[in-house]
Amino acid sequence: MRENESVQQPGEGGNEPFERVANLRARWDPVDATFPDHLKYEGICARMYRAFSWLERVEELADRDGERSADDQLILAWTALNSLYGKWDADRNEPERDVPSLIEFTDHLFEIDKEEALIGQLGEQQSEVLELLDNQFLSRQFWNAPDIDKAAKKTKLRHSARTWYIEKRHRLILEKLLRNVYYMRCQLVHGAATRGSSLNRDTLGPCLRVLRLFLPTMLGIVIDHGHRDDWGPVCYPVVK
C-alpha cells in the first residue's frame, strides 16, 4: 500500500487501513488509457469499472454509517469482488458457479503477484484470518446440525490453518478464508439473517474488514500485472 492511500473506517474503533477507490482509480486510469475505445466496455475494463462502482458505494456507507450498515457493505463489497472473478459459461448460457470461478481467479492472482502482496496481506492479518477460519457460524458442518456445545469439541479449521501458515500454503488459506466470507454473504443475500441483527455482528464485522482489506490488494495486482491477461468472458456485457 502506497503512502497516503489509506483511511480508517469510522465507527469501528479499529485501526485497519482501507485503500480508497479514488487512489485505485488514479492507478488504473493510465492503464485504461492504453486500451482502444472499442475495448473500454469489455473484458478487464468492464470488470474494473464495475468493481470500482460497488466498492465506492461501500466507502460511502462506511463513511456515513460506520458499522450500522455493515450488512449492506458486505453485500456490496462481495459484489465488487464478484465483478472481478465472475465468468460466463457459454455452454450453459449462464454465469459459472461462484466458488470455482473465485478459486481460479485467486490462483491467477498468486501467479502474477510479483510483489507477493497477497502473501504479505495474509501475514499481516493472520490473527483475524485464524479467527474467521475458527468461526463455527461460517461452517457448513455446524449448520447441518447446529449445536454450540458439540461444535466446540470438534477439530477446528484454525488448527489446520496454523499448519498451512507454517507450510506457506497461502493459496489454500485465502481460498478457505474467502469461502467463509462467501458463506456470510450467502446468509445475507438469501434472507437467512436479519438486517442489523446483533446476533451476527461478531461474525459479520471481521468478514467485512478482511474483504475491504483484500479487495484493494487484488485490484492493485490486476492493475500492475494482470490488465493484459485473459480473465474469461464477462457476465452480461455492456450492450449499446
The answer to whether the CB of 8 falls within 8 A of the CB of 15 is: yes
What confidence score (pLDDT) does residue 9 get?
42
What confidence score (pLDDT) does residue 148 get?
57
Identity of the amino acid at 190:
H
Residue 146 in domain = yes
Residue 85 in domain = yes
What confidence score (pLDDT) does residue 150 get?
57
What confidence score (pLDDT) does residue 149 get?
57
Predicted TM-score (pTM) of the model is 0.88
Residue 9 in domain = no
Residue 56 in domain = yes
What confidence score (pLDDT) does residue 5 get?
42
What confidence score (pLDDT) does residue 28 get?
98
What confidence score (pLDDT) does residue 239 get?
85
Structural domain boundaries enclosing 150? 17-226
What confidence score (pLDDT) does residue 156 get?
63
CA distance 45 to 28: 10
- How many other C-beta atoms can be found within 10 angstroms of the C-beta atom of residue 212? 22
Number of domains in the chain: 1
Q: Take residue 210 and report the three cell numbers written for it.
A: 478482511
Residue 1 in domain = no
Residues of the chain with pLDDT under 50: 1-15, 155
The per-residue DSSP string of 42-71 comes to: SHHHHHHHHHHHHHHHHHHHHHHHGGGGHH
Residue 234 in domain = no
What confidence score (pLDDT) does residue 147 get?
59
Continuous H helices in 38-156: 43-65, 70-85, 98-112, 117-124, 126-133, 140-144, 148-153
Identity of the amino acid at 62:
A
Residue 6 in domain = no
